Amino acid sequence: MLNLPGYAEQVRSNHDFVKLGERVDHSCLIVAGVVGRFDQDSQGNRQIIALHIPGDMADLHSAVQPEVTSALQALSTTTIVRIPHSAILSAARTYPTLGEALWRDCMADSAILAEWVFNVGRRDAKKRIAHLICEIAVRVGAAPANGMIMFPFPLTQTHVGDAAALTPVHVNRTVQALRREGLVDIGKNVKINDWGGLVAAADFDDRYLHLSTKPKRVPLIH
């Protein structure tokens, strides 16, 4: 087993722990919480371009590209471990198969990014939010219980808007519509009453998540 160095660190909600423009010498493993990767323009308009959940290396790519062009912000109270690039790269050099796995992990994130371009570009508000919820449900590994899928959801409607490229007002109305239709209740928890219906409404196809090649999540060894 790899014994990567690093120490756990708490990040407050809405705090940037990797900032635009800096040059980093480590990648961040998310241990708990939810983090958003943000891009912004010169007027300060922000867009979440990726969401990361526990088990994700939110910026593994920085190992080969240390200039930060999108910030990482905690969207809830979050625990991270900063892992030095030196450790990652030397391990990858020693075990080329590991290097390939890290590369593959980055490409899994990239495939999600591609789907987000489609999501934001081609789907209307309802499909877009439904699709986002489907993706998160699969990624967190939410399992049905009592005919319902439920998982904690610390994001605000504003966060959802930042991810789906919609205004908070429009997110609110769309979330209400999804609730009224009995598909999904998006609150402090997401409660999916009708997974099949939600998948259909979102036109969700999980192939882009490459679930078969995705490594199982392993508990953190410190």
Partner DNA sequence: CGCTCTGTTGATTAAATTCAAGAGTAGTGG
Partner DNA sequence: CCACTACTCTTGAATTTAATCAACAGAGCG
Per CB under 7 A, residues contacting DNA are 14, 124-126, 128, 156-158, 165-170, 172-176, 187
- Residue 157 touches which of DNA, its own copies, none (CB < 5 to 8 A by kind)? DNA
Q: How far is the CB of 21 from its own copies (least distance, A)?
A: 8
From DNA, its own copies, none, interface partner of 120 (C-beta below 5 to 8 A by class): its own copies
The binder of 117, among its own copies, DNA, none, by C-beta within 5 to 8 A per type, is its own copies
Least distance in angstroms from the C-beta of 144 to its own copies:
23
In the numeric block, which tokens belong to residue 182?
């009995």
Tokens of 73: 């912000």
23 sits near its own copies (criterion: CB under 8 A): no
What, of its own copies, DNA, none, does residue 149 touch, CB below 5 to 8 Å by kind? Answer: none
The item of its own copies, DNA, none sharing an interface with residue 151, based on CB under 5 to 8 Å by kind, is none
119-128 long-range CB contacts below 8 Å, 24 or more apart?
119/164, 120/164, 120/165, 123/202, 123/203, 125/164, 125/166, 125/170, 125/171, 125/174, 126/174, 126/177, 126/178, 126/201, 127/201, 127/202, 127/203, 128/164, 128/165, 128/166
Neighbours of 85 (CB within 10 A): 16
Task: Output the smallest distance, CB 136 to its own copies, in A.
Answer: 16
C-beta of residue 153 within 8 angstroms of C-beta of residue 188 = yes
- Considering only 23, 41, 188, 216, the residue that binds its own copies (CB under 8 A) is 41
Where residue 31 falls (left for φ over 0; alpha for ψ -120 to 50; beta otherwise) is alpha
Q: Tell me how far apart the terminal alpha carbons of the chain are, to the nearest angstrom.
A: 11
Q: Which residues pair with 8 in a beta bridge?
A: 81
Residue 65 is a binding residue for its own copies (CB under 8 A): yes
Q: Tell whether residue 210 is a contact of its own copies (CB under 8 A).
A: yes
Residue 151: strand pairing partners: 190
Query: Using the rule CB under 8 A, is 44 a contact of its own copies?
Result: no
Interface residue list for its own copies (CB under 8 A)? 37, 39, 41-43, 45, 47, 49-50, 61, 64-65, 67, 69-70, 89, 92-93, 96-97, 99-100, 102-104, 106-111, 113-118, 120-123, 164-165, 203, 205, 207-208, 210, 213
